[in-house]
Amino acid sequence: MASFATSDGRMLAYNELGAGPTLVCHPGGPGFAGAELADLGGLSASRRLVLVDPRGTGASDLADEYSLDGYADDLEELRVHLALDAMDLLGFSFGAVVAIHYAARHPEHLGKLVLAGGLAAFTPEGEEFASQTIASMAGEPWHADAVAALEQEEHGEINDMPGLWEREAPLYFARWDERYRPAVSAGAVGSRAEPLLYSNRVGFDVRGELGAITAPTLIVGGRADFVCGPPAAAELERGIRGSRMVMLENAGHMMFLEQPEPFRNAVEAFLGTGGESERPRDRKSNPSRPMR
């Protein structure tokens, strides 16, 4: 684990896995540390993954606030610390919201952008899809407790963030299997409630920033992702000019655990092709369901 001091005196930590071209990776929640990303379905075999512990999580210091501006500022300071003129960036779940905000604010310092299991805002279409998907799992033995835990999180009743996630986790897979339990438990290490409580209080909506993104962008979604599924991915694709979308079958939100090979292949194929010539030119420019 490495770290550096931000301009306001906090320590921001990150972990490095693998070797190759650098891919900076921001996890979700908000409130989860870089550990939740594991090796991103094996991407560390071909990439140097820089897994960020966002402010208030993992080995990073707590902060006074958890705004999108603050998260984006931390990413920019990390880029400078890593001595990258332009960085490839992957944002997962709420990390995709942060990545969108960063991409709109710092287009000159972004190479390629991957939005995995992300969304721009909670919408009625997304809420309807979520309700239908959750209801479709009602026959599972874990369903009632998982839904109860999700409702606790939505209401801000978070006394044990890792424990709550352990209970909710089956909802985030297309087909839950206990073989995912070790990865779910490991992914909760370093999680904290403060960032999530802040986000649930202030909300977010970055739909107005999608048109400002100039980086080549890949959108990866899980067909059975109840919180950031096809409706959310379609909105991102419509809003980001020239973006590409890959929808993974038999995958929920935790797509890189459930379908590691298709996820890895999609991201590697995108990152490994083209360059600046692919960049689109002349672009014109409420508390809700928790994401993870």
pLDDT > 50? residue 278 = no
Q: What is the pLDDT of residue 283?
A: 31
How far apart are alpha carbons 156 and 42 in whole angstroms?
34
Contact predicate 120/210, CB 8 Å: yes
What sign does the dihedral 275-280-281-284 (CA atoms) show?
A: negative
Q: Scanning the structure block, which residue is given the tokens 């500022």?
A: 73
- Which one, of 143, 290, 270, 167, lies nearest residue 228 by Cα? 290
Q: What is the pLDDT of residue 101?
A: 98
Q: What is the pLDDT of residue 290?
A: 59
Q: What is the pLDDT of residue 292?
A: 65
Q: What is the pLDDT of residue 281?
A: 31
Residue 289 binned pLDDT confidence (cut-offs 50, 70, 90): low
From 52-56, 150-154, 274-278, the region with the lowest mean pLDDT? 274-278
Q: What is the pLDDT of residue 13?
A: 98
Q: Is 139 exposed, middle or buried (0-12, 13-18, 19+ CB in 10 A)?
A: exposed
Average pLDDT of every residue of the chain: 93
Average the pLDDT over 184-209 and give the result: 96
Dig out the tokens for 236 from the structure: 């991102």
Residue 280 binned pLDDT confidence (cut-offs 50, 70, 90): very low
Residue 45 binned pLDDT confidence (cut-offs 50, 70, 90): very high
Q: What is the pLDDT of residues 112-129, one digit of tens each?
A: 999 999 999 999 999 999
Q: What is the pLDDT of residues 70-113, one digit of tens each?
A: 999 999 999 999 999 999 999 999 999 999 999 999 999 999 99
Q: Would you state the torsion angle of the CA atoms of residues 249, 255, 256, 259, taken in this order, to the nearest 10 degrees?
A: -30
Q: Is 214 helix (H, G, I), strand (E, B) or coil?
A: coil
Q: Would you state the torsion angle of the CA atoms of residues 233, 166, 187, 150, taken in this order, to the nearest 10 degrees?
A: 30
Share of the chain above pLDDT 70, in %: 93
Q: What is the pLDDT of residues 222-255, one digit of tens each?
A: 999 999 999 999 999 999 999 999 999 999 999 9
Report the b/e string of 28-63 with b at 16+ CB within 10 A. Answer: bbbbbbbbbbbbbbbbbebbbbbbbbbbbbbbbbeb
More confident residue, 283 or 289: 289
